Chain A
Amino acid sequence: MSLLTTLARAEAVRAGRAQPVATVRHRHLSGRPLVLVPLTAAGEAAAPLGAMVGTDRDAPVLLTVRQPRDRDLRFGFLARLADVVLPYLESYADDVDTELRKGEELEVCADAPQILVPSVPGVDYVRLLGRSMRFRRTAEEDPDTPFPAPPRVPLLGRWLTHYAERARTPGSSLLLAMTELLGRHWATGQSQLEDQHLGALLAWIRGGDPEEVERGRDASGQLLTPPAGPATDPAFDNRLLAKATARFDAGIPGSGDEIDALLASQLRPTWDAVWEGVTLLRELAPGTRVPDRWTGDRWSYTGHRDRLRAGEPPQPRRDDATTAARKLASRERAQAELAAGEALDDPLVMASRRLAGEAFAGTVTGVEMAMSEGRSPRPRPLVVLETDDEPYLDPGVKAHRVLATGKTQTAEVVETGADADGPGPRTVVLRLTSGMGRGKTPEEGSLPEPGDALCFTLFEHTARSGAKLPDPDDTPWTHGGPPSAAPADGPRPAEAPDPVTAEDFL
């Protein structure tokens, strides 16, 4: 954690309220997000217990599984979830723009659906649900399949898988956890571990007693604020749900409604908390570079739409070597661009980088025109800057700044004031090497003047793209060769569904 954040947390302790660690919003927030609050049955990998879902804060759709071990009830739940989520996901598919990419006019969806879950385990659960559904076969696909899945369930599995996988890209916003969103923008007076509790985190931000929210129980031992899921509180399972489930199993009339009401009581506070978070975040203006990152998400959504339309098989269980390497490379690029973009968008984030010696801000005290050598000399002016910051500078190091036009200008450090440890400002002499246009005189606005306040970063503002990786079918011997023989004229066959046995369900 940066010292600046530690300081903000200490201030939060003293104030009894969360303190800002961002001055702008660093993630895209849809005007019409879909909120999904899932609950899962304890002790099983992906046996849903219920969910609250929808795009209208005042009209959540409650879905429940009255007996999580009953396969038919589980499929019924998933089918109803698909009925709510798929129309939302598909509603963005046909509104398209065209964009020029590598000289080609390509179609990209004008906007994309966004799913919000309460916490990080919620993101993992979306991934797990996606995995559990995408290999299922419907009766239409395979008339012989035992226990066929309802028609749209495998499709929902593929979408949820795509969203959960995209969520691993730094800065992406198709699927977000509210605890992460809030934690990115506010520092509380507790640890990051405790910030995973959505209710407590909100209490720090908007006032309230975080500890009471986290631990407070009523006379019967039930939490006053239920956990944000997907796991339920053991006291809820043992003292309330178990009895209701037993009555349901015994076929007692009204017991199903009783279970629904119990689950709603656990889901509704979290549902409201997520929406409250949305309201808080909407008060922050988005950072300048947020729309660019969202464009990446729109491409991601469009790409998945196209794969579905092309009839491609579901995402495989595990990535092949090339896919894994490609994803890692693109996420490392996204991480570098996110770190740079957040700093450039937000002086508070830049302050952290300045404190860490990775950027410096100061006032121009002198500008001296100079030209490069060679046949067509270019302007290479020297700029003298006075700064109170303490960057790690050696002669030859590159520094970058953003011009008023939004373009990046690069400079090279020529020398720094000798007394690096002394008190008071230090002098940095830089030679501007780019961003001044093609002429012999620098373009308007590209040359600073004495008195200007500038901020240079030692990190680059965009990440270089890496070299192309081989196609899976050209995987070299060092990595075991091609994963499996694919038919020469078609796509790789779909993976087999998970074996289903009578023992799956107890």
Chain B
Amino acid sequence: MTPTPGDAATRATDEILADTLHGTARGVVVDSPPGAGKSTLVVRAARELAAAGRRLMIVAQTNAQVDDLVDRLATADPGLPVGRLHSSDPHPYDRVLDRHAAVRKSAKIGDLAELPIVVSTAAKWAWVKDVDPWQHAIVDEAYQMRSDQLLAVGRLFERALFVGDPGQLDPFAIVGSEQWAGLTYDPSTSAVTTLLAHNPGLPQRRLPVSWRLPHSAARLVSDAFYPYTAFRSGTGPGDRRLALTAASDGGAADRVLDIAAETGWGLLELPPQHTPRTDPEAVTAVAGVVRRLLERGAVAHSERSADGGEPVGPDRIAVGTAHRDQAAAIRAALAALGVRGVTVDTANRLQGREFDVTVVLHPLSGRPDATAFHLETGRLCVLTSRHRHACVVVSRAGIPELLDEYPSAEPVRLGVEVKFPDGWEAHQAVLAHLAELRVRM
């Protein structure tokens, strides 16, 4: 009999903690698909390491991630002294941390080094010197960390737990790095790639259950973006339900919302047209869907909501785009409609975040051609895996033809592992699914 999602997740977590606390390997790598409880794992591992008396440093990639982690740690264990190592810029950390009495903040490691746990960004850790190495480190979002950043901090710890989502956007460099392609320590590649190339025997574990993605999304996201490392949803069919209180007005936005409420997905398709990145009609369509979602009083029923469900307010909705100018145009369009408080951002900035409903402007919408940027697997993966209930994709028609005509003359570098899935294949898989759930404008 297959174990329940809860049992499977618990077993995986137990194995990871056993490897981390009692294993002999210097490192443990944990792959975590979207919403699989990565933060929960990090908090738990940190507390257990601290309880075992191991001096622990935690490396995250952005200040927001660091503040979020410290807040979670302090909330979970208010008595646990945690150091927040920050920069000397003005406003270096989120004021929310001031609420926690046991959290000490400083720009100098000397003030914090004796605490059981110290958290900071990779960039800040790189400046730390003249201290004894930590017995243990947790490296969060390790797949988004560049190999050279790990090189800069690797001297600070003896052993480490690396946690991250391999399906999200890869790190990149703003200058060419071809001359190091194929080297195990190519500085522009991800930290995990380098780590595993040099330490092939490290235990690799996986969190097998997404608690965020609904049953309707887990299969598609798993098949399209994690073809060799499948995961499943923590909830079953019908455990999550999105209800729209007000009736449909019969318009395209309402019809696609009805489909999305029922199936978890919807595609609102505009007539084919080549457009620049900020396509006014597509922008209006996205804003219109968001407005109708709010006007119709969406209510989310889930395993963690009260009997009557939770209203889906602006703070539970996100709009995702490929480019900043698209996000800016949609923000302006929403403001013009009087809609406030909805998160509108690019895939890069939505990484790691979670909402009830997302509306996505398809990266290829209106484009005359596909490019490697727009086909990047991680971008589409981020955009289609932020939601707990439903995701509506807005796009110009004609993307399948665009994909068909994509010239594939990719260079191949000796010694560089082939990356799966291919962006082209992932896009096809997602579109094939959405084609059944399409509303034409």
Contacts and interface: CB of A to CB of B under 8 A. Distances in A.
Within 8 Å by CB, do A and B touch in the complex? yes
A322 B152 CA distance: 9
A335 B174 contact: yes
A468 B328 CA distance: 37
Interface in B1-60: 26-27
A328 B155 contact: no
A421 B27 contact: no
Contact of A168 (B27, B150, B176): B176
A324 B155 contact: no
B126 interface: yes
A467 B198 contact: no
A48 to B, nearest CB: 22
Residue among B129, B194, B198 having the largest count of chain A Cβ atoms under 10 Å? B198
A285 B326 CA distance: 38
B148 A478 contact: no
Contacts of B254: none
B150 A479 contact: yes
Given A392-B324, A470-B152, A478 B194 contact: yes
B155 A470 contact: yes
Contacts of A185: none
Given A421-B332, A469-B151, A478-B151, A321 B188 contact: no
A329 interface: yes
Contact of A328 (B160, B188, B336): B188
Interface string A310-325: 0000000011111011
Contact of A478 (B150, B183, B335): B150
Contacts of B150: 478-479
B194 A479 contact: yes
B180 interface: yes
Interface in B162-188: 173-177, 179-180, 183-188
A476 B150 CA distance: 9
Nearest to B148: A325
Contacts of A318: 183
B228 interface: no
Given A321-B151, A469-B152, A332 B174 contact: yes
Highest count of chain B CB atoms <10 Å: which of A319, A420, A467, A475: A467
A328 B184 contact: no
B198 A479 contact: yes
Contact of A321 (B27, B177, B187, B332): B187
14 contacts: A321-B151, A321-B187, A328-B180, A328-B187, A328-B188, A332-B174, A332-B175, A336-B174, A357-B324, A392-B328, A477-B154, A478-B150, A478-B151, A480-B198
Given A324-B183, A479-B151, 15 more contacts: A170-B175, A321-B185, A321-B187, A329-B187, A469-B148, A469-B152, A470-B152, A475-B151, A477-B26, A478-B191, A478-B198, A479-B150, A479-B154, A479-B184, A479-B198
Interface of B: 26-27, 123, 126-127, 129, 147-148, 150-152, 154-155, 160, 173-177, 179-180, 183-188, 191, 194-195, 198-199, 324-325, 328, 332, 335-336
